[in-house]
Structure 1
Amino acid sequence: MTDDDRELIELARQTVDANTDGPDGVYTMGAAVRGADGRMYAGINLYHFTGGPCAELVALGRARADGARELTTIVAVGNEGRGVVGPCGRDRQVLVDYHPTIRVILPTPDGPRSVLATDLLPGAYRWAP
């Protein structure tokens, strides 16, 4: 974990804390992504029983809307102090398809660490836009 990684985790935590659905909003997640230029972009999920965009996808969309095409690191953090949370399968596939070299910060028993997106989804379906 680098200082940049810790800064990214903190942005995601601040984002979810400022926008949580409260104690009953167990599905509220915040995410943050860092561009190759060092700029950071945050997102929050829109949980709905029919599904909805995950916080990671919202952060990726925000970065893209601001012109960031090269991204280096992404993290998601749960509300109510749940800490770093790994991406769901759909998010893993999107990361591999759009940013295969991005590092993903994950929770581990020894604390957060980062891995390549491609390591999270071995044998992934390779879709090309």
Structure 2
Amino acid sequence: MNIPHRALTAADQELIDLARAVVDANTDGEDGIHTVGAAVRAADGSTHIGINVYHFTGGPCAELVALGNARASGAHRLTTIVAVGNRGRGVIGPCGKDRQVLLDYHPEIRVILPTAHGIAGVPIKDLMPYATAWSPDGGSTAYGDDASSART
């Protein structure tokens, strides 16, 4: 699949470095092989961080924690997000659940992730072919239909 991507900017690299710093400072001990840090940039330039809460029964991903942190700080329009694994794993892509949440809440966001062309920024819409939007009233509809709308 040929997904459009954009080369990294200096601001993108700063976001990667911020996510790396949060995961390096907060890894879950010696066996913290599942620790991930995330950083998100808002339209106003502010940045917000998150770290996952790994547990064998599941737990919130770092990207979702960063989204919650941004919202709690008053940031509603987010432009770019990245996640970085601990122990030198580098930039990682969001899981399916995170992709759906990003699309629903921030349909214009760019996701920094590994691509066939190296680390690059990709619009979330390009990571979600045949995406659906869900609402209590309309159920699941094809994303982009008049009945579906992103949350803000």
TM range (shorter): over 0.9
Q: Which residue of 1 aligns with 2:83?
A: 76
Given residue 42 of structure 1, which amino acid in structure 2 is its aligned partner? I
C-alpha displacement of 1:110: 3.8
Q: Which residue of 2 aligns with 1:100?
A: 107
User: What is the percentage of aligned positions where both structures have the same residue?
Assistant: 69
Structure whose alpha-carbon radius of gyration is higher: 2
Q: Which residue of 1 aligns with 2:39?
A: 32
CA contact (8 A) 1:73 1:104 kept: yes
Deviations 1:43-79 (A, max 9, x none): 0000011110000000000000000000000000000
Q: Which has the higher strand share?
A: 2
SS at match of 1:81: coil
Q: Write the distance in 2 (CA, Å) between the matches of 1:5 and 1:23.
A: 29
Do structure 1's residue 119 and structure 2's residue 135 form an aligned pair? no
Q: Which has the higher helix share?
A: 1
Q: TM-score, normalized by length of structure 2?
A: 0.82
Matches within 5 A, 1:49-68: 49-68=56-75
SS at match of 2:39: strand
Q: Write the distance in 2 (CA, Å) between the matches of 1:110 and 1:118.
A: 18
Do structure 1's residue 14 and structure 2's residue 11 form an aligned pair? no
Tell me how large the CA RMSD over aligned residues is.
Answer: 1.1
SS at match of 2:134: coil
List structure 1 runs of 4+ shifted beyond 2 angstroms. Answer: 108-111
